[in-house]
């Protein structure tokens, strides 16, 4: 059997499960005895994309049970991604092996939902970050500057602190009144830290980092991050360290100064309140035009998910069971699940004790 035939058969099988023809159109009945039906949509889990960077540790494996190898410097686990060559792949079930990009392009109505219209790209990037060492001081551009300076989307993001070593910190924003000239001079002197707003890193804190906010994750901090689908990052200071090649890592000072919002000032954790709901308590976290986060503290079953748009589900403490009428799957600590709009409302039940989950939707 030729390799070419095998490749064609694999492609045909993938298209079959997507419910499209080889030209990208919908599958149709071609005779009285032939009807191809695409695979039924269920909650989806994806293979994590593991990133090794010089500041990473090994807690992605030891705490979140990600498939890391020996040693350390395992910095990020991209849970849901449709960014350039980093595209998430379905891990199991009838759609196993298909990419998030393929699903968005061919079954958008089912995956994204009618409220979001037709998108060419999944709009959010979801990741876990383990900072064994402090990250570089950096800033992300807004949409307009992202396209012009980085050929990418803008990047507004939210952090939820999952773990933090004693005395660990987060840098979020510039101190009140810091001007562009002051910041540029501090970069030139290598004394950026004195101008940064520094806050203690506390487990459970939610910190919204809009585009234009100078920031850095301190050493010993592990977070869940939800952001726009972008990797546009401009470094202004890297703590005078060198990369794996023994040379200082590249800085992007001109782009960073242009992208920084000097009127924004310091950023602090979001003040939240809990409300009692079926199965536990609900806590509203960050809300922007790009995403809206909610945290559930569960001691019993509750319901999440919507029919008009997708929902992202992250298990950040304990394990849960996610169920529909004809589907049930365990979601373990550190795992992420996409609930397509076609799935609708799901029941989420903690197992082996209380659990905490985070949900995310596009408003």
Q: How far apart are CA 195 and CA 182, in angstroms?
A: 9
Q: Is the pLDDT of residue 206 over 50?
A: yes
Question: Is the pLDDT confidence value at 293 over 70?
Answer: yes
In the chain, where the domains are located: 49-259, 274-361
350's tokens? 């903690």
pLDDT, tens digit, for every residue of 142-164?
999 999 999 999 999 999 999 99
The CA angle 202-285-99, to the nearest 5 degrees, is 100
Output the CA torsion sign for 88, 352, 361, 64: negative
pLDDT in tens, 230-241: 999 999 999 989
| Banded pLDDT at 50 (limits 50, 70, 90) | very high
Residue 15, pLDDT score: 60
User: What are the tens digits of pLDDT across the range 99-129?
Assistant: 999 999 999 999 999 999 889 999 999 999 9
User: What pLDDT is attached to residue 244?
Assistant: 83
- Specify the pLDDT at position 29: 41
- pLDDT band of residue 33 (cuts 50, 70, 90) is very low
Give all strands (DSSP E) within 165-298, no chain letters: 169-174, 196-200, 206-209, 215-217, 221-228, 234-237, 274-277, 280-287, 292-298
Average pLDDT, rounded, for the chain: 93
- Read off the pLDDT of residues 80-98 as tens digits, 9 standing for 90 and up: 999 999 999 999 999 999 9
Q: What is the mean pLDDT of residues 181-205?
A: 97
Q: What is the pLDDT of residue 22?
A: 43
Q: Do domains 49-259 and 274-361 have the same CATH topology?
A: yes
Q: How far apart, in whole angstroms, are the C-alpha atoms of residue 190 and residue 238?
A: 9
| Structure confidence at residue 4 as a pLDDT band (50, 70, 90) | very low
Q: Return the pLDDT at 118.
A: 87
What gap in Å lies between CA 159 and CA 142, rounded to an integer?
A: 18
pLDDT tens-place string over residues 22-31: 445 554 444 4
Average pLDDT over residues 52-69: 97
pLDDT at 117: 84
| CATH of span 49-259 | 2.60.120.10
> At which residue do the structure tokens 């991050």 appear?
225
Contact by Cβ (8 Å): 113, 310: yes
For residue 217, pLDDT beyond 50: yes
Output DSSP code: residue 39. P
Does residue 93 sit in helix, strand or coil? coil
Ranges 28-32, 68-72, 282-286, most confident: 282-286
Give the pLDDT of residue 214. 98
Q: Which CATH superfamily is domain 274-361 in?
A: Jelly Rolls (2.60.120.10)
Q: What is the mean pLDDT of residues 171-187?
A: 98
> For the whole model, what pTM was predicted?
0.93
* Residue 90 region by backbone torsions, left for phi larger than 0, else alpha for psi between -120 and 50, else beta: beta
Residue ranges in the chain assigned as alpha helix (H): 3-18, 59-62, 100-106, 108-111, 143-150, 180-189, 253-259
Inform me whether the pLDDT recorded for 17 exceeds 70.
Answer: no
Confidence at residue 211, expressed as pLDDT on a 0 to 100 scale:
98
pLDDT band at residue 14, thresholds of 50, 70 and 90? low
Mean pLDDT on 335-350 = 98
d(CA 36, CA 58): 45
- DSSP bridge pairs for 313: 337, 359
Long-range Cβ contacts of 179-187 (<8 Å, 24+ apart): 179/262, 180/257, 180/260, 180/262, 183/214, 183/236, 183/257, 183/260, 183/262, 184/253, 184/257, 187/236, 187/237, 187/253
187-191 mean pLDDT:
95
| 28 or 243, higher pLDDT | 243
What percent of the chain clears pLDDT 90, i.e. is strictly above it? Answer: 87
- The pLDDT score that the predictor gives to residue 43 is 98
Cα–Cα distance, 261 to 178 (Å, whole number): 10
Secondary-structure percent of the chain, ordered helix, strand, coil, rounded to 5: 20, 40, 45
DSSP conformational letter for 255? H
Beta bridge partner(s), residue 319? 351
């Amino acid at each position: 059997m030729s390799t070419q035939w095998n490749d064609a058969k694999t492609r045909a099988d993938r298209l079959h499960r997507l419910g499209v023809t080889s030209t990208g159109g919908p599958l149709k009945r071609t005779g009285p005895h032939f009807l191809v039906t695409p695979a039924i949509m269920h909650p989806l889990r994806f293979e994590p994309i593991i990133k090794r960077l010089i500041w990473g540790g090994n807690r992605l494996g030891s705490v979140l049970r990600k498939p890391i190898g020996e040693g350390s410097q395992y910095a990020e686990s991209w849970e849901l991604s449709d960014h350039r060559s980093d595209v998430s792949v379905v891990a199991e079930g009838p759609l196993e092996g298909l990419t998030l990009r393929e699903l968005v392009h061919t079954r958008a109505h089912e995956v994204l939902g009618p409220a979001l219209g037709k998108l060419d790209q999944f709009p959010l990037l979801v990741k876990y970050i383990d900072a064994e060492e402090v990250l570089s001081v950096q800033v992300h551009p807004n949409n307009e500057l992202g396209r012009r300076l980085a050929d990418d989307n803008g990047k507004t993001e939210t952090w939820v602190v999952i773990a933090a070593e004693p005395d660990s910190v987060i840098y979020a924003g510039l101190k009140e009144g810091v001007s562009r000239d002051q910041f540029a001079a501090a970069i030139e002197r290598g004394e950026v830290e004195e101008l940064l707003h520094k806050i203690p890193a506390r487990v459970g804190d939610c910190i919204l980092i809009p585009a234009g906010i100078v920031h850095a994750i301190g050493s010993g901090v592990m977070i869940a991050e939800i952001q726009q689908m972008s990797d546009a990052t401009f470094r202004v200071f890297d703590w005078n360290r060198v990369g794996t090649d023994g040379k200082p890592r590249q800085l992007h000072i001109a782009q960073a100064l242009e992208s920084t919002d000097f009127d924004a000032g310091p950023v602090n954790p979001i003040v939240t309140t809990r409300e009692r709901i079926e199965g536990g308590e609900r806590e509203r976290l960050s809300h922007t035009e790009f995403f809206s986060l909610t945290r559930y503290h569960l001691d019993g079953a509750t319901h999440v998910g919507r029919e008009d748009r997708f929902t992202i589900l992250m298990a950040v403490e304990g394990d849960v069971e996610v169920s529909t009428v004809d589907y049930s799957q365990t979601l373990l600590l550190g795992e992420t699940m996409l609930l397509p709009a076609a799935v609708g409302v799901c029941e989420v039940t903690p197992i082996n004790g209380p659990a905490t989950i985070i949900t995310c939707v596009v408003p």
